[in-house]
Structure 1
Amino acid sequence: MVGAWCFVDHFGPDDVRGRPGMRVPPHPHTGLQTVTWLVDGVIEHRDSLGSHQFIAPGELNLMTSGRGIAHSEYTPPDHPDGMHGLQLWLALPGSARDGAASFEHHAGLPAYTAGSVTVTVVVGQFGELRSPATVFTPLAGVELLFGEASRISLPLDKGFEYGILAMSGSAIVGGTALEPGSLLYLGDGQETVTVTSDGEARLFLVGGEPFDEPLVMWWNFVGRSHEDIAEARTQWMAGERFGTVGGGEAAPLPAPELPTVRLKARDRYGRTF
């Protein structure tokens, strides 16, 4: 984990000309928030709250599962040629994980420019800028877009741990080379980090206060025990708890079978309990 960030799916860049693109039928979530950020393409989101939202590059979809929500994600038939983006998960703390589900869409996010680098605060707080998105632990999710070869010094919170993902282009972060698809863990206790790129590049910085609650992550669920996960699976398969996603013809995704051994909680260091 990096703060409350517990999962990242970096998809693309893909050429989806003449192809259907993203096709993710209704599926459930518990104990987390999904952070969806596109840099190319379009996705149609529907959920069991009745939300229906298209997301385009530079916009944020934030879905809070609370105790349970279901959603689907599709590329609409009339779509751009490319698909590239991120979906990240934030673990909800104990005080929020059994709360109500919600959905937010934000088309305008705070940003600043330093030379040829545009810094966009997608979620949380970075320096003096704060995203309007609702979060439940102190954290930051920030896009760094380099228009040309540049060097930037980023202010960090000494109480946060950080990681940085390369989405496109290459960069040197604190002296370490980073290529697309790589996530570099920066640790905590730092006040600044220097990022250098020799050309156009897109990076995504994640950070937050260390998350000290051990988690059980399995399939689309984040819980605290084997029993949490088993209960969520049983209720999803029985059509309970998560509601119904409208507007689509695809059947909900069935949950895989649980393993024949107990799922163990794991803390931020990877220790099991």
Structure 2
Amino acid sequence: MSDLYLKCQLSDSKDCPPLPHQPIEQLLPTRNATLGDNLMIRRALPHRQRRMIGAWCFIDHFGPLNLNQSKGMNVGPHPHIGLQTVTWLIEGKITHRDSLGSEQIINPGQLNLMTAGNGIVHSEESIIDTHKTLHGAQLWLALPDMVRQMDPGFAHYEFLPVMEHDGITITVLAGELFGKVAPTNTYSPTMALDIRTVAAAKTILPLNPDFEYGVLVLKESAIIENSIIDINNLLYLGYGRDKLSINLPQNAHLLILGGEPFKEEVLIWWNFVARTEAEIKEAAENWQTFKYFGEIPGNLIPRMNAPDLPAAHFK
């Protein structure tokens, strides 16, 4: 998905307040907006107090959107560099198309992983059929410098490891838990779990103390360690934890995201994850002048224009 906010600010991973390298509980309110045809977006990262969690550099929670009262999601062709996009659906169907010629319908319980590398263009359209609600999350992983100029790629994962533990259904989206390893190919030490309940449940999950972690609620609420969170907050948990206490009501749903702290400085503007302002400016100019980036075969949706570059950074 594109960054659909029209006034994109430059995000620098080194400009948020430093925190001790130890377990903490930092509650970060999401930045919310209604975009397009009544699509609610809750932006959790980047946040002015926390730019990244491991390699995770962008987290949007979208929906739920009633497709009987809306045209759904129609995100026209737009470019990306320097990242991987992870699309995870709770409800609905989305068709992904890209400049590699990929065309893939994603359903709930499946995962799309697009590696932008040195440049890719894609579009996303919701499908209105038997699915009457659109609800999901769009996540970005910053690519390390050693691979961020790699050729782009796309992968669809129809089957992911799923387990039942203490009355909780856990899907491993990336990384490993209880010996179950996700097939997703990422380029930094990373973990992502989808956690759901039918009845109220509580448990303690093992964590990697070398990772930093965050928790995003997608439905209902949760008690994580000593913090109560809901869909309007991201809970940043810091470093150094080897376990995590979780207490959930019935029908709860959340994501746990973690990873080894990302050592490189990362700049994000619009759909570009870069290292310098000059690199971002060049990518934006290439997109606006129809240079470098490819086209999506058979595309019929209007191409997105890049927002204006913020004058404070790009002169």
TM-score by length of 2: 0.81
User: Which of these residues, 137, 149, 154, is aligned with residue 103 of structure 1?
Assistant: 154
Q: Is the 8 A contact 2:197 2:249 kept in 1?
A: no
For residue 228 of structure 1, give the secondary structure of its aligned residue in structure 2. helix
1:171 aligns with 2:222: yes
Q: Distance in 1 between matches of 2:167 and 2:64?
A: 23
Alpha-carbon offset, residue 241 of structure 1: 2.2
AA aligned to 1:251 is P
How many angstroms does 1:240 deviate by? 2.2
Q: Which amino acid aligns with 1:48?
A: S
Alignment check: 8 A CA contact 2:67 2:128 kept: no
Q: Which runs of 5+ in 2 are unaligned?
A: 1-51
Output the CA distance in 1 between the equivalents of 2:104 and 2:130: 15
The residue number in structure 2 matching 1:7 is: 58
CA-based RMSD: 1.2
Distance 1:79 1:90 in 2: 32
**Structure 2 counterpart of 1:231:** 282
Which of 111, 125, 142 is the equivalent residue of 1:91?
142
Aligned to 1:190: 241
8 Å contact 1:2–1:161 — kept in the other structure?
Answer: yes
4+ runs deviating over 6 angstroms: none
Q: Does the CA-based 8 Å contact 1:217-1:223 persist in structure 2?
A: yes
Aligned partners of 1:167 and 1:116: how far apart in 2?
Answer: 18
1:39 alignment counterpart: 90
Instruction: Give yes or no for contact 1:51–1:103 (8 Å, CA) kept in 2.
Output: yes
Question: How far does residue 17 in structure 1 lie from its aligned partner after superposition?
Answer: 1.0
Distance 2:141 2:150 in 1: 15
Q: Aligned residue for 2:267?
A: 216
Greater shift, 243-252 or 58-67, is seen at 243-252
Identity of aligned residues (%): 43
- Once the two structures are TM-superposed, the CA of residue 79 in structure 1 deviates from its matched residue by 5.2
Cα deviations by residue, 1:44-79 (Å, 9 ceiling, x for unpaired): 000000000000000000000001000000012435
Q: Residue 270 of structure 1 aligns with which residue?
A: none
Displacement, 1:250? Answer: 1.9
Number of positions where the alignment pairs a residue of Structure 1 with one of Structure 2: 263
Partner of 1:206: 257
- Provide the rounded CA distance (Å) in 1 between the counterparts of 2:182 and 2:294: 29
Please give the alpha-carbon distance, in whole angstroms, between the structure 2 residues aligned to 1:79 and 1:256.
Answer: 35
User: Which secondary structure does the structure 2 equivalent of 1:178 belong to?
Assistant: strand
* Secondary structure of 1:17's aligned partner: helix
> Which aligned pairs between 1:122-141 and structure 2 lie closer than 5 A?
122-141=173-192
Q: Is the 8 A contact 1:42 1:79 kept in 2?
A: no
The 8 Å contact of residues 167 and 181 in structure 1, kept in 2 or not, is answered as: no
Secondary structure in 2 matching 1:11: strand
Shift of 1:38: 0.3
1:121 to 172, 183, 202: 172
Q: Is 1:64 paired with 2:115?
A: yes
- Looking at structure 2, the residues matched to 127 and 140 of structure 1 have their Cα atoms a distance apart, in angstroms, of 12
Give the match for residue 209 of structure 2: 158
State the distance in 1 between where 2:258 and 2:128 align: 36
Deviation at residue 98 of structure 1 after TM alignment: 0.5
In structure 2, C-alpha distance between the alignment counterparts of 1:34 and 1:179, rounded to whole Å? 24
Work out the CA distance in 2 between the residues paired with 1:246 and 1:81. Answer: 28
Q: Distance in 1 between matches of 2:180 and 2:82?
A: 27
- Relative to structure 1, the CA distance from residue 122 to residue 251 in structure 2 (aligned partners, 3 Å threshold; closer, same or farther) is same
8 Å CA contact 1:31–1:97 kept in 2: the answer is yes
Q: Deviations over 1:186-243 (max 9, x none)?
A: 1110100110012220010000000011111000001000011011111111222221
Q: In the alignment, is the contact (CA less than 8 A) between 1:46 and 1:247 conserved in 2?
A: no
**2:295 matches 1:244:** yes
Alignment correspondent of 1:24? 75
Query: Unmatched 5+ residue regions in structure 1?
Result: 264-273
**Which residue, out of 98, 103, 106, partners 1:55?**
106
- Does 172-181 or 85-94 show the bigger shift? 172-181
